[in-house]
Structure 1
Amino acid sequence: MPLEILLILVIGGISAIAIVLHLTGRSERAILHPETLQAAWLRHFPEDHVMGTLLARDCHAALVETQSGPGLIWALGADTVGRHLRGYEIDEVTGGLTITFHDFTAPRVTLRLDPDEAPIWQQRLARA
């Protein structure tokens, strides 16, 4: 098979898969619910015991209090990412906060928070 035809088939196939996933709703960001937040955290850290949570109003991020210290879970596409809060920096940006981790697997996350919500998160993160 000529390379040109193979290239067209590969690009067309990948594009078709992306379009089908988007049209069926599989490209939407994960929404964290108070009832499922603990299970989402335990999927990342099964040995932790969740003692409390603070869910963002947009339901795409949450602070998690565990016996091993605080953590952050956020939506990354249709899945979630969880990190213990050890070694990080907080920067206030328009519309929320940016947290820079000292971790190459998740170097930075920008949390979209309401203006009255950001100070509460900053206070909780400062105590972490």
Structure 2
Amino acid sequence: MPIEALLVLVIGGIAGVALLLHLTGRSNLRVLSPDGARAEWLRHFPDDTIVDVTLSHDGHAALLRTETGPGLLWSFGADTVARHLLDFDWLEHPKGMEFYFHDFATPHVLVHLDETERRHWRHLMEPA
């Protein structure tokens, strides 16, 4: 088979799968509930004890306080990503807060928050 035909088949197949996932709703961001955020956090960190969960108004992120400190859970397509807030920086952003992790696997994430949420989340992240 000529390389050009193979290239067209591969590109067409990848585009077809992406289109199919989008049309079936699999590319939408996951919306979290308090119980769903707890379950997802425990899926990532089964040994943690969760003290409380604070969801963003859009439901795409949650700030969790655990016995070992705060953690951030956010939607990544239909899945979630969770990180303990141990080695990170955050900056104000016009749309919310931007978290920069000192980890090459998760460089940064923008969490959409309004001004009231920003103040509340800053308060929850302060060391005890």
Q: Is the TM-score greater than 0.5?
A: yes
Stretches of 4+ aligned residues off by more than 6 angstroms:
none
Q: CA deviation at 1:115?
A: 2.1
Q: Counterpart of 1:43 in structure 2: which amino acid?
A: R
Q: CA deviation at 1:103?
A: 1.2
Unaligned stretches of 5+ residues in structure 2: none
- CA distance in 2: counterparts of 1:113 and 1:127, whole angstroms: 21
For 2:103, the equivalent position in structure 1 comes to 103
- CA distance in 2: counterparts of 1:69 and 1:85, whole angstroms: 7
Q: Does 1:114 align with 2:114?
A: yes
For 2:91, the equivalent position in structure 1 comes to 91
Is the Cα–Cα contact under 8 Å of residues 34 and 54 in structure 2 kept in the other structure? no
SS at match of 1:22: helix
* TM-score (normalizing by structure 2): 0.95
* TM-score (normalizing by structure 1): 0.95
RMSD: 1.1
For 2:64, the equivalent position in structure 1 comes to 64
- CA distance in 2: counterparts of 1:127 and 1:113, whole angstroms: 21
- CA distance in 1: counterparts of 2:41 and 2:49, whole angstroms: 10
Correspondence list, 1:1-128, <5 A: 1-127=1-127
SS at match of 1:35: helix
Is the Cα–Cα contact under 8 Å of residues 95 and 115 in structure 1 kept in the other structure? no
Q: Give me the identity figure in percent.
A: 48
CA displacement, residues 53-109 of structure 1 (integer Å, 9 cap, x when unaligned): 111111011111112221110011111000011011110010100111111111111
SS at match of 1:48: coil
Aligned residues: 128
SS at match of 2:125: helix
Q: Counterpart of 2:54 in structure 1: which amino acid?
A: L
Is the Cα–Cα contact under 8 Å of residues 95 and 113 in structure 2 kept in the other structure? yes
SS at match of 1:104: coil
